Structure 1
Amino acid sequence: MEFEGLKSIEELNVLIIDDNLLVHDLLKRALYDLNIRNVRCAENAYYGLRLCAQTRFDVVICAFNVKSDKDGFHILEEMKFKGYVSKSTILIFLSSETDETLVNSISELQPDDFWVKPLNTGHVIKRLSYAIAVKRKLFNVFECIDNRDFGKAIYYIERHLLNKDLKKYHMQLTRIKGECLLSLMEYNDAEEYFRELLQHSKNSWMYLGFVSALLKQNKIEEIKKLLENLTTKVETRFATYDLLAQFYVENEDFVQAYETIKKAAALAPRNIARNKKVWDLARLNHDQREQYNATVMMAKHAKKSIHDSPELLLNVMRSCIDLALSVDAAESFELLSRVDKYIAELEADYDDISHFKEQLVIVRARVLTAREEKSKAERLVELQVSLRPNNSLEDNLDKVKVFHEVGMREEALDLLEAVKKQIACDSLAGAVTSKFVEQEAKEKSEIHFTPKQLNSMAVEFFKKKKMTPALRSLEQALQLTPRNVKVALSLLKVLVAIHRSEGLDDSQKELASSTINALHVGDLDDTQMIHFNEIVNELASAIDEGKATAIS
């Protein structure tokens, strides 16, 4: 059965987006040879998107590097978001680059083909003819997928697979059927389907479909060796990391989810949603540096895209302050200077800056507390910051931080309770966000100072030989910044002092052991490494003695 839903070749509307006029000429010649006459060209994203608003295009050929405004990834992402292209559209990417991160980013948009420049007319005619034939012959399948009627799509696929005239499309149909089974959440059926396919062929997409089906059924133990293999291969590692990250989130293993999503994001850095996951998981895992890096990446790659928003720069400022509150004085000074520049950038770039008045007041107040000008911050908050929550989760979380930092702890905890209720009513709030807010509420009620303040307090306690409060301050600082090697080394230094003066109790021995094991040795410089080895050697006997006592 053939469903002739695609127009005849003479009636096809084609859009070419490329800033190189020679590419326009070559493609138009090839299209004319195919008897395609309805061809529109755009040298930039702005004009291309305007054309899409006026005309429904059947074929979109888009260059990745459109230097004048948006890149090709953001152009096609916006086209999909606005409904200008769908599964029924023939979508082709052009690029002179073929590095892994670009190919991964392109593959996420699922184009029908990817042509590497320089192009030649014969190649274009051959590849485009095939793409048009696929779309015409399988149009009913793609139309069902556009309508999210995956069951009906499978019905058509199974009928097409019986048609010998469509044999050259059978592999593509087989792949689409597996994707439809996963979309229908028929994971057991999908597992059996891909298992059967893998007995006859070993395509990458089959392995990925099989892995996806088993992970959704929590059968990770059955495929551990396969996962190790897939994460070493260029053609499968990105998708495998992405699937694993989602699996870990769904099973609330947020440490593994974080380590895995970072690898996926590094392999496809343009995806804003994935960078948002890195950011969410970084702050849940108290990695202030990666939290800052993720917000910077989001703001960078969102430029001139549908995601571009002043809120992204606000989040960069917020995470920059969080990092400044967790590092030494020299780096903190440099980071806070960056925040000043971000504020100036936001005020210069957005006309309606009054819309962000309270958000910027909070940022400025947090900068003041970080610079140890707490009284100025208190006055700013008291005069210009409302106690009531607004509709933005991130605005509210930053307000919680400023209340906590200026000593308005009761107000901070009350606002966190309101945020919890906000999340409970928000169907889009995920498990990671919910867990983070829960963690914030616990830590804000138990720990009354920032990591920077706690570290300063510990130094003063240590100078006065008050080792117990010094140790407690550093424990809390390390809880908030577990990747800070300077805090970890300071904590071990205090434990050495206690060991020398009165000996370590069992809980202190356990703390010494866990801190040594958790320390990221690769982050230590040569001087720190010498100091670390000296500490380990001195505490080794006490730690071993503690372990022996625990065993007995």
Structure 2
Amino acid sequence: MESKTLENLRVLIVDDQRSFQLMFKGILYSMGATNVAFAPTGEQALAKCINMDYDVLFVDYHLGTGKNGKQLLEDLREKKLLKPSSIFMIVTGENTVPMVMSAVELEPDDYLIKPFSQRVLRSRIQKIQHKKVKLNALYQALYDEQGDTIIELCQQEISTEGRYQQFCKRVLAETFIKHRKLDAAQQVLSQNLEQHRSGWALVLQAQIYFDQGEFQRCLELCEEALESNRYFAEAFDLKAKAYMAMAQPDEALQCILNASEIAPHSIKRQYLMMEIARKVHDMPRQVQASKQLYEITRRSLKQDVIHLQNYIRTVIEAAMESEEPQQKNRYQQETMIALQRARLDESMIKDIDFDLFEVLCQARLESLSGQQFQAKRTFATVADLLHGQEHSLADAVLLLNQIGEYEEADSLKQKISKETLDNPVLDAIIQRQTDITVSRKEYFAQYNKEGIRLYKAGLFSEAAKQFEQALELAPMNTGAALNYIQSLLQLLSQPQHFKVGDAFERCRKAFRVVDNMPLPEHHRVRYQELLSRYEKIRTERRR
């Protein structure tokens, strides 16, 4: 009977090594398998599962450049392509802690490290089969996400004090928490913890304490869970969140670093890493976490160009804040490489106007390098394309604030949808830029306002000096440039009080800020009037 463990079952081996496929097939045949299929990549395995239900899947973690085994499992679950009775086993030759724990966190039915014996394989499969058969109704309810049925079936199994009562207690507590029935969850957990201080129960109880704002009690239970299992990444995650809630970001950072070292391939964990790293102003770790998020998702169903954009935005932000020239240059180079690499991944960028996003990023890099005129010219080439391009409005705002076009930036910012700002990384980047530029904008506004007052008082030379100060803070600001030009033209009308050649040269430089640039209507009309006056005065001086 034991030799027929896989009889009449459809088996799929997902491994990119042909030699292992053939060897493993021989082992499975000896266990009764006669219907065995192969897929060398995660993408091909997913395609096969769309067309066929498999009873048992043996999946290698590393599958070349495409989806890995963990991503395949996520995709199959997301698409409901794994039957409740199906067995999914990750099989790999790598046994490093980050790889093993990242895979185990997703809770496949089992995890095997090569090499393994036929006896071990048979024992593992039979154990899973027994559990799947005994809890068949529960697995179906979990698959169908029927909360009330899950609760009822778990309570039935627990009442029998059967072999799987611990599993059912955990599922029951998790279901209660998911449906915000915290009192019921606590009753299950407290009863379980009285009998056995299991790690899962400690962490679930700690999660309840966290939700209730009892952060110190949350920390204590997480510590207890880690004493019995130092690789309990979820306990470190929860500790990090508790420390953040207690305004202790340095302690939170150490916890999330521990969690990420154990199991780095978690989307939620990397988002938490970014949040904490931002709080302690650790740009290198923000960049690393944003890159990790992009890499985790780029070959899975969770692939989203937002992760690519956030990664590139974070690297540019790091370049802006870097005080070390070599580090700034490295970040700028990393941005260019990421943009070039993205162009080779058509599936990633197919849903957005990537050309527009790339041009805006290029302009931001030009501004970073001190090429303010070029940055504004680059923006001018795509300004008319921004209408209806929600994905790039925020990048235009970031660029315009960078070059000092505050009024236009504020105008565009009003058009960014709430949905776009629900992106926590982008929202944080915009908020950070706002915090950095607020004092600069205040001083700019003061100089500009004082210049206008002096101009109205007929003090054109003093007014020009104020507008010069404003342009030092915002060198590409159209309004300040036009104000400056207007003051200089008044001085040119009174050459006895001003060096004519110097005034013409200053006017010429100021016009560069607005020449051939897309302008709002009121600025465009004013620009044309000032340009006509300038040409007229220059012509008169030549006579």
After superposition, the Cα gap between the structure-2 partners of 1:409 and 1:233, relative to the gap in structure 1 and judged at 3 Å, is farther
Task: Report the equivalent of 1:66.
Answer: 63
After superposition, the Cα gap between the structure-2 partners of 1:86 and 1:285, relative to the gap in structure 1 and judged at 3 Å, is farther
Give the structure, 1 or 2, with the largest relative contact order (CA under 8 Å, sep 6 or more): 1
Q: Counterparts in 2 of 1:15-164, with a 5 A limit? A: 15-25=12-22, 27-67=24-64, 69-85=66-82, 87-163=84-160
Deviation at 1:144, TM superposition (A): 0.9
After superposition, the Cα gap between the structure-2 partners of 1:358 and 1:299, relative to the gap in structure 1 and judged at 3 Å, is same
Q: Counterparts in 2 of 1:319-338, with a 5 A limit? A: 319-327=314-322, 328-338=324-334
Matched, 1:202 2:200: no
After superposition, the Cα gap between the structure-2 partners of 1:88 and 1:96, relative to the gap in structure 1 and judged at 3 Å, is same
Moved more, 283-292 or 349-358: 349-358
Match of 2:439 among 421, 430, 446: 446
Match of 1:186 among 167, 181, 206: 181
Task: Report the equivalent of 1:454.
Answer: none
Deviation at 1:44, TM superposition (A): 2.5
Matched residue of 2:411: which SS?
Answer: helix
Moved more, 62-71 or 239-248: 239-248
After superposition, the Cα gap between the structure-2 partners of 1:214 and 1:37, relative to the gap in structure 1 and judged at 3 Å, is farther
Deviation at 1:172, TM superposition (A): 2.3
Contact preservation (8 Å) 1:30, 1:124? no
Matched residue of 1:60: which SS?
Answer: strand
Give per-residue Cα distances to partners, 1:335-357, cap 9 Å, x unaligned: 32333333333345549889312
Deviation at 1:110, TM superposition (A): 1.1
Structure with max Cα Rg: 2
Give, in whole Å, the separation in 2 of the partners of 1:59 and 1:278: 36
Match of 2:222 among 227, 230, 238: 227
Task: Report the equivalent of 1:269.
Answer: 264
Moved more, 279-288 or 186-195: 279-288
Give, in whole Å, the separation in 2 of the partners of 1:384 and 1:255: 42
Task: Report the equivalent of 1:379.
Answer: 377
Task: Report the equivalent of 2:500.
Answer: none
Contact preservation (8 Å) 1:18, 1:24? yes
Matched residue of 1:110: which SS?
Answer: coil
Q: Which runs of 5+ in 2 are unaligned?
A: 443-472, 474-543
| Residue identity matched to 1:329 | P
Contact preservation (8 Å) 2:12, 2:36? yes
Contact preservation (8 Å) 1:181, 1:187? yes
Moved more, 302-311 or 85-94: 302-311
Give, in whole Å, the separation in 2 of the partners of 1:432 and 1:377: 24
Moved more, 11-20 or 228-237: 228-237
After superposition, the Cα gap between the structure-2 partners of 1:435 and 1:260, relative to the gap in structure 1 and judged at 3 Å, is farther
Deviation at 1:215, TM superposition (A): 1.8
Contact preservation (8 Å) 2:310, 2:426? no
| Residue identity matched to 2:422 | A
Q: TM (normalized to structure 1)? A: 0.69
Moved more, 90-99 or 78-87: 78-87
After superposition, the Cα gap between the structure-2 partners of 1:10 and 1:258, relative to the gap in structure 1 and judged at 3 Å, is same
Q: TM (normalized to structure 2)? A: 0.70
Match of 1:342 among 338, 357, 360: 338
Contact preservation (8 Å) 1:204, 1:235? no
After superposition, the Cα gap between the structure-2 partners of 1:62 and 1:349, relative to the gap in structure 1 and judged at 3 Å, is closer
Give, in whole Å, the separation in 2 of the partners of 1:106 and 1:417: 43
Matched residue of 2:57: which SS?
Answer: strand
Matched residue of 1:325: which SS?
Answer: helix
Match of 1:217 among 199, 209, 212: 212
| Residue identity matched to 1:372 | G
After superposition, the Cα gap between the structure-2 partners of 1:337 and 1:111, relative to the gap in structure 1 and judged at 3 Å, is closer
Contact preservation (8 Å) 2:215, 2:245? no
Contact preservation (8 Å) 1:208, 1:236? no
Matched, 1:278 2:273: yes
Deviation at 1:359, TM superposition (A): 0.8
Deviation at 1:72, TM superposition (A): 1.4
| Residue identity matched to 1:335 | Y
- The alignment yields a C-alpha RMSD, in angstroms, of 3.4
Contact preservation (8 Å) 2:244, 2:276? no
Matched residue of 2:195: which SS?
Answer: coil
Q: Which runs of 5+ in 1 are unaligned?
A: 1-7, 450-475, 477-552
Deviation at 1:436, TM superposition (A): 6.2
